[in-house]
Amino acid sequence: MDMGRFEEAEKLLEVLMRQRQYGKAYLVLDAAICLSYKDFEAAESRIQAATSKGELRPYALEVLGKSFHGRQRWYDAERAFATLAQEFPQNHVAHFWLAVVYNDLHMFGHAIYEVRLATEIQPNDPHARVLFGSILFRAGRYVEASKQYQQAIKSAASDAEMNVATTMSWNTALVRCCIEAGQFEAGMEAIASVADPSVELQVLRAECLLELGKVAEAEGECRKILEHEENQLAAIITLVKARLQQKVAPEHAQLLEAELVKNSNNSEVLHLLAQVYGQLGNQQRRQELLTQSQRLQKLQSRSIELLDEVWSQPDNVDGRLELATIFDELGDLAQAKTWRQAADGCQQRIKAFQGNAP
């Protein structure tokens, strides 16, 4: 079993061995092993024989639901975890994985409801806290999201086996929440708590310094980063923002133009580059960039409208597909892909519910 439940699984084995029910216990554990190797068909074939009532029932449903999730059989995964939650209301794993399924389908309202239940049942589960934080961040609820990340980091601090890279990513997410919420001093404190900050955290520190009016320090931080990471776009952007508060040079335009060649739909680069050319006196190029930037801003505004529309609507497949198209135009291929997957998943659910209608 995953999520740190090895001790729980061992205790279950002891109980089952005493009750001479170890045959089915081995089926469940074998299915869990198959699941870890992403052999979903093998996991499901083993687990089907162990889903009857009894102490094995919650473990069997958990493995089955995770296998369905791994195969993107959204309706089946939802049904397995919903059954687990219904039969065992205090099983935090059921609510956590329902939240995972709904988050993958971009049904954020449903996801928040389930992950809140998971954290109420198991307050010290850092993974549930991180999931909760990520969903709240997407909802624009940055202060609430930062509290969830803080709790996750606090819980992880007492776990000697917790991966350092994992907690680093949680610290990064926490700092992003602080920046979006305008809490730049809090962001600096969060970065200072990390022994060896990543490049990403160093860039975020530069952003905080800039927002706190420490322009020279922000610029110095960015230049140190670019000495070792010359293609670090975030550092380039922050550096140019710092220079805009003093005096830009043609070299700053060249840096951003090079990034625009890589991604012509980067709205932040377009807008910033327009400001640079405005300071340099090249009004023609400035206007060209502003026109491009305005087109992308309209797409971004439409994406915000659609996000509100599809928040808790699993039947709004067209809205999800439109969002995928918008992210294609914005050059965010990863987001476009996830929205297409969400649309496919919601379509699966609709067909499944129709097939099961009385």
List, for residues 260-310, the tens digit of each pLDDT value.
999 888 888 999 999 999 999 999 999 999 999 999 989 999 999 999 899
Instruction: Summarize the confidence of residues 54-82 as an average pLDDT.
Output: 87
Instruction: Summarize the confidence of residues 128-133 as an average pLDDT.
Output: 96
Residue 172 has pLDDT above 90, yes or no: yes
- Nearest residue to 43 (alpha-carbon basis) of 20, 23, 59: 59
The two three-digit tokens of residue 281, written as one number: 């006196």
> CA-CA distances (angstroms) from residue 269 to 254, 256, 259, 276?
12, 6, 8, 10
pLDDT for res 24: 65
Instruction: Summarize the confidence of residues 189-217 as an average pLDDT.
Output: 95
At 252, the amino acid letter reads H
The rounded distance, in Å, linking the Cα atoms of 122 and 132 is 13
Residue 330 has pLDDT above 90, yes or no: no
Q: Are 51 and 60 in contact, with CB atoms under 8 Å apart?
A: yes
The rounded distance, in Å, linking the Cα atoms of 105 and 103 is 5
Instruction: Summarize the confidence of residues 335-342 as an average pLDDT.
Output: 95
Q: How confident is residue 53, by pLDDT bands cut at 50, 70 and 90?
A: low
At 164, the amino acid letter reads V
The two three-digit tokens of residue 264, written as one number: 């012509």
pLDDT for res 18: 60
The rounded distance, in Å, linking the Cα atoms of 81 and 72 is 14
Q: How confident is residue 3, by pLDDT bands cut at 50, 70 and 90?
A: very low
Burial (Cβ within 10 Å: 0-12, 13-18, ≥19) of residue 236: buried
- Nearest residue to 339 (alpha-carbon basis) of 298, 309, 297, 294: 309
- Nearest residue to 78 (alpha-carbon basis) of 91, 92, 90, 94: 94
Residue 5 has pLDDT above 80, yes or no: no
Instruction: Summarize the confidence of residues 323-341 as an average pLDDT.
Output: 92
- Torsion of the alpha carbons at 305, 310, 312 and 316, rounded to the nearest 10: 150
What are the residues whose beta carbons fall under 8 Å from the beta carbon of 183, sequence distance 6 or more?
143, 146
- Torsion of the alpha carbons at 313, 317, 322 and 325, rounded to the nearest 10: 120
| Percentage of the residues of the chain whose pLDDT score is greater than 70 | 86
pLDDT for res 1: 43
Predicted structure pTM score: 0.85
The rounded Cα 353 to chain-centroid distance in angstroms is 28
pLDDT for res 37: 67
Q: How confident is residue 63, by pLDDT bands cut at 50, 70 and 90?
A: confident
Q: How confident is residue 4, by pLDDT bands cut at 50, 70 and 90?
A: very low
Average pLDDT, the chain: 88
| Percentage of the residues of the chain whose pLDDT score is greater than 90 | 65
The rounded Cα 249 to chain-centroid distance in angstroms is 37
